[in-house]
Amino acid sequence: VVDELTVEEQTRVRRFSERQVVDRAALDEILRVSLMAHVAVVRDGVPVVLPFACAPDGDALLLHGSTAAGVLRAGREGAPIAVAVTLLDGLVVARSAFDNSMNYRSLMVLGVPEALEGEDKARALNRLTDHLLPGRVDEVPPSTRRELAATTVLRLRLDRCSVKVRTGPPTSSADPEDTGDPEDDGGEGSVWAGVLPLAVTAGDPVPSPDVPAGIPVPASVRAAAVRLRPPTE
Ligand SMILES: Cc1cc2nc3c(=O)[nH]c(=O)nc-3n(C[C@H](O)[C@H](O)[C@H](O)COP(=O)(O)OP(=O)(O)OC[C@H]3O[C@@H](n4cnc5c(N)ncnc54)[C@H](O)[C@@H]3O)c2cc1C
């Protein structure tokens, strides 16, 4: 696992290139808290993008689903895929609609995934389950042979990827030269601007109707809820 991400032509952010982050730790943090990725593939000449659960696995990203899922099948058959993982951190409210923005941590990965089989596949599925619900693998029976056979697991190495991050208050593209007066902000200072923070948070667990009274919420579900709490300053 490298400390710094390599930027190549296809993974170089062009717009606001100063927002590209090459620190590997930023990538790890995005994957640590992300539950979902959007996976794109070109199928019969047409681009398709669909959301999937995801989990980090060392120097790779894991995806899984039904063997019948089209995007996963294409990846299994050797098609290149692009994966986007996005954490939306806030609505950035500027003094003009033009300058509105979003705060985010965003990861994009390109590559041809490897389809896992046998022990590797079973291990990867456990890893996915434990990423979404930490410790759940030890609370339920192991996957059956039939379940394993019905599931595709793809492992995409994080060799070709980029991270882009926007933080902080709105910026203005208003140019004082428009009026010739460097003090003239067009009265904009009187208009509210700032950030509306956003985050995915967990609600209270809701038991299935057939769960007998008195069965406690398992540790895995409590752990998943804790992980989604916003970091305390
Ligand atoms: C939640 C969210 C909302 C956004 N909303 C808008 C919007 O409304 N309008 C808009 O123009 N842009 C928006 N962006 C930014 C957008 O994702 C691109 O960064 C932007 O279009 C500029 O891309 P580019 O031309 O520099 O790169 P491109 O030439 O399009 O891509 C070159 C390479 O740069 C890297 N890259 C580019 N963007 C990202 C990214 N976000 N994360 C990781 N790697 C990246 C990839 O490796 C890509 O292959 C948003 C981003 C996020 C995360």
Q: Are the beta carbons of 154 and 62 closer than 8 angstroms?
A: yes
Return d(Cα 191, Cα 178) in angstroms, integer. 19
Residue 104 CB less than 6 A away from ligand 1: yes
30, 61, 99 from 26: Cα distances, Å:
6, 15, 26
Least confident of 82-91, 111-120, 163-172, 182-191: 182-191
Q: Which of 10, 15, 88, 91 to mutate to test the pocket of ligand 1 (most atoms within 8 A of CB)?
A: 15
Distance between Cα 189 and ligand 1 center (Å): 29
Residue 11 CB less than 6 A away from ligand 1: yes
Q: Are the beta carbons of 31 and 163 closer than 8 angstroms?
A: no
Q: What is the mean pLDDT of residues 197-218?
A: 95
37, 48, 217, 218 from 209: Cα distances, Å:
30, 37, 14, 16
Return d(Cα 233, Cα 231) in angstroms, integer. 6
Residue 14 CB less than 6 A away from ligand 1: yes
Residue 20 CB less than 6 A away from ligand 1: no
Return d(Cα 69, Cα 154) in angstroms, integer. 12
Return d(Cα 56, Cα 28) in angstroms, integer. 8
Bridge partner residues of 41 (DSSP):
48
Return d(Cα 35, Cα 178) in angstroms, integer. 46
Q: Are the beta carbons of 53 and 36 closer than 8 angstroms?
A: yes
Predicted local confidence at residue 2, as pLDDT? 75
Taking the CA atoms of residue 95, residue 99, residue 104 and residue 107 in that order, the dihedral angle to the nearest 10 degrees is: 180
* Mean pLDDT over each residue of the chain, to the nearest integer: 92
Distance between Cα 156 and ligand 1 center (Å): 21
Name the residue at shortest CA distance from atom 9 of ligand 1.
101
Measured from the Cα of 86, ligand 1's closest atom is 53
Beta strands in 172-225 (DSSP E): 194-197
Residue 6 CB less than 6 A away from ligand 1: no
Using CB atoms within 10 Å of the CB of residue 51, give its burial: 0 to 12 exposed, 13 to 18 middle, 19+ buried: exposed
**Interval 35-74: pLDDT, tens:** 999 999 999 999 999 999 999 999 999 999 999 999 999 9
Confidence of residue 173 (pLDDT cuts 50, 70, 90): confident
Distance between Cα 163 and ligand 1 center (Å): 10
Using CB atoms within 10 Å of the CB of residue 155, give its burial: 0 to 12 exposed, 13 to 18 middle, 19+ buried: buried
Predicted local confidence at residue 232, as pLDDT? 60
Residue 10 CB less than 6 A away from ligand 1: yes
Predicted local confidence at residue 233, as pLDDT? 46
Residue 198 CB less than 6 A away from ligand 1: no
Beta strands 151-157 and 101-111: pairing type?
Answer: unpaired
Beta strands 160-166 and 81-93: pairing type?
Answer: unpaired
| Percent residues over pLDDT 70 in the chain | 91
Measured from the Cα of 105, ligand 1's closest atom is 53
Measured from the Cα of 16, ligand 1's closest atom is 26
Closest CA to 230 of 197, 205, 196: 197
Stretch (H or E) spanning 42: strand 36-43
